[in-house]
Each structure stands twice: as structure tokens, then as C-alpha cells.
A = this chain, B = another copy of it.
Amino acid sequence: MKLRVIGLMSGTSLDGIDAALVDIDGSGTADLSWKLIEFVSVPYTAEQRRLIHDAIVRGGTAAICEVHALLGEWFADAALAVCERARVTAVDVDVIGSHGQTVWHRPPKDGARGATLQIGDPATIAERTGIPVVSDFRSRDVAAGGEGAPLVAWMDRALFSVPSRRRVLQNIGGMGNLTWLPAREDAQPLLAFDTGPGNALIDAAVEIATRGLHTYDEGGARAARGTVDRALLDELLAHEFFAHKPPRSTGREIFGRPYVERLIQRVAPTSEAEWDNLIATLTALTAHSIARACHDWLSERGFDEVVVTGGGARNATLMRMIQDLLKPVPVLPGDTLGIDADAKEALAFAAFAWAHVHRIPANVPEATGAEGLRVLGSFTPGAAERTPLEFVTPT
């Protein structure tokens, strides 16, 4: 069924809300087609970032509750902004897919199920926009014994696999995750897992180094000026996560600001040059963790190109490091996919809402380790005066 869908994404980088307006058509995964109509990225203000960050890090119930409601308002604003940019009225949008903001995520461990918590009130999004909302895509996969991540694998295959080439889609947001896609004509299972930190550690180091003046290493300029501390890098790469066999997932609980704070206490950079060296080393950590993931888990399958999306694709130093480590395989920027590289995650959550309405399972058990296929997300109705959305029963 053809639906006009908005996908909303607020990643672990806390840089803002991405909203993609997409037309999606088809009867299932095999014949799914899509057209990106418009994309906006609404950056958080410093105050918004602070509120979210404090709620996540300090975690008082009152603060989490308040930010849950506020994020709902901001997500709604972003959805209305992408409509306005596209000159589409909200009543003409069929459904919104909202990933929400992950405040905590613990993968399954030692036989115990995982736990995950996303906030960003879907009732508020539905109330402000009038559009029905599908939200909280991770929880069902986690309840079924999965990692709840990486989530985007289903959409990666449906939307971005290509004939006769084996593609790696490497997303670098706060965390890094990859999806290995066989050539389109090849029916073998895909593979997807988290590679480790994306920009989160680099961002935290820049923010501490500049006392909050900058929140990321623009273009990778500081990393380019610095020198990688090879001994420190080897030590950081010895973290058990990087040796973990997929399925695997990670988050700020492991690779977050406290990790960087501990590192700074040890390294104690005093000059700008020493800060640059630390930033270069953390950039190399992301690059090496990605390259190692490709070597360790994709060598047997083989891969013909690596396409990088997310904010990390704009860090030239990081891109160069990854290319050096993976040559001769080409490492390409995300616009290779025919979309703004930043739009990919938001597009994914639009596709997830489409899948929910069609009762199509959108988790990939080989990627998450879940017991089986599951329909993801919860549905919150739109305005009462709307014609209710009909759910499609898979045939």
C-alpha cells in the first residue's frame, strides 16, 4: 500500500532531530519502492542538548519524565518542519515512524534478556501533528531475546542492496554500526552489528577540550593536526567489545562521556597540541574498530565497497583513516546511495512505520540474535477526525 510517511530520528550524538518525508509503496519487502520527498535536520539548541544530556546522565525520574514530554514536542516540531519545507499539509501524511531517544540500552548478557528504554512521547507527536505514530522499535526485538540493534538492517537490504556488488553500509552516528549486504540477486542472509564508538568519544573530547564551545571536530581538522598515540590506541582496541562475535550492540553506557573523562584523567592533556593528539587517537579508534570489524567478520563473505553515512562521513580525517585501512576496497560517501547521507536513519524509521502498518516483521534475527521475526513498534492513533489508517494483513 502506498503511504506518505515521516521518519524521525534523534541519534546518540544528540546533535538534533532528523526528519525525512518519504513516499513508500509495495506489498512487502521484495517489491518495496520509495522516494525521498524532503529531508530536514533540526539541530538542538545548547539548552535542549543540556536538558537531554542531564536527563540521560543524571537520570532523575522527574527529569526523564519532563524530557520525555519535551522531546515529544520537539519531534512534532521537526515533523511539521519537514512538511512545511515540502509544502505538504500534515493531513496528507499517513503515519510517522519515531525512533525516540535511547536513554539506556543493555544488550542480553550471560543468558539474561536485554533491556532498552526510548523516550520522546508518541502521544504528544500524534496530538500536535494529528498524524498517527509508530514508535519504540527496539523493545520487541529485545523482548524476543535480541540485541534490539542494529535495527536498520531490514531497511538496508530492502532499499540499498545493488546487483552484483556486495556492499557494506557503515553508519557513523554517536555509535557505529554496519550492515553487510549480499548482491541483490543473492538470497543469503545479511549480517549487521555495531562496530563500536562512532563520533561519541571524539565529540566528548572536543566538548571537554573547548569547555563546551565546540561539540564536534568539524571536518576532522583537529584530528588531522594531531598525532595518533599508537600505544594508547592499541590499549583502547584491546577492549573486549571489539573481539565480541556478532550479534553485538553497544552504546554510550560503554563508549560515552565517562569513558572519555577517565581517559583524560590518565592522559592529562595540557596544550592544544596534546588535545589534538587525543582527538586524533580517538578518531583512529573509530576507524580501526570499523576496519577490524570488516576484516574479522566480513572477509569470508567478501565486500566490494563500503558506503559511509551519518555525521562521521563529514569527518575527512576519519574517512581517510578508514580508506587507508581498507584499501583497495573503495570507501565511499553516503550520497552514493542517492540520498543525503544524513537522511538514511530517518528514512529507516519511515520504512519501519510502513512495515508496522503492513504487519511486516522488520527485525533481522541474524543481525540482532532475536528468537524470530517480529512486527516492531507500538501504534498511537492520530486525530479523531481523520479517516483511521487501515492495517494491512500480510498475505
User: What are the interface flags for A65-84 relative to B under an 8 Å C-beta threshold, 1 for contact and 0 otherwise?
Assistant: 11011101000000000000
Measured in the bound complex, the distance between the Cα atoms of B390 and A388 in whole Å is: 12
A139 contacts the other chain (Cβ, under 8 Å)?
yes
Measured in the bound complex, the distance between the Cα atoms of B124 and A316 in whole Å is: 42
Main secondary structure of the interface of A (DSSP, over half): mixed
Q: Are B124 and A139 in contact (CB under 8 A)?
A: yes
User: Which of B105, B136, B374, B388 sits near A359, CB closer than 8 Å?
Assistant: B388
Q: Are B393 and A122 in contact (CB under 8 A)?
A: no
Q: Are B106 and A62 in contact (CB under 8 A)?
A: yes
Measured in the bound complex, the distance between the Cα atoms of B179 and A7 in whole Å is: 41
Measured in the bound complex, the distance between the Cα atoms of B117 and A274 in whole Å is: 44
Q: Are B106 and A123 in contact (CB under 8 A)?
A: no
A56 contacts the other chain (Cβ, under 8 Å)?
yes
Q: Are A136 and B123 in contact (CB under 8 A)?
A: yes
Q: Are B72 and A143 in contact (CB under 8 A)?
A: yes
A29 contacts the other chain (Cβ, under 8 Å)?
no
Measured in the bound complex, the distance between the Cα atoms of B145 and A123 in whole Å is: 12
* Oligomer: number of copies: 2
Asked if A126 meets B140 with Cβ closer than 8 Å, knowing A59-B61, A393-B388, the reply is yes
Q: Of all chain B residues, which has the CB nearest A376? A: B123
Contacting residues, chain B, for A139 (C-beta < 8 A): 121-124
A113 contacts the other chain (Cβ, under 8 Å)?
yes
Measured in the bound complex, the distance between the Cα atoms of B382 and A144 in whole Å is: 12
Q: Which residues of A come within 8 Å of B, CB atoms?
A: 55-66, 68-70, 72, 103-106, 113-117, 119, 121-124, 126-128, 135-136, 139-140, 142-144, 253, 356, 359, 361, 373-375, 377-381, 384, 388, 391, 393
Interchain Cβ contacts under 8 Å between A and B, 20 examples: A57-B61, A59-B59, A59-B61, A59-B62, A59-B63, A65-B103, A65-B106, A65-B115, A65-B116, A65-B117, A66-B106, A68-B117, A69-B114, A69-B116, A69-B143, A121-B139, A124-B143, A127-B143, A375-B381, A391-B391
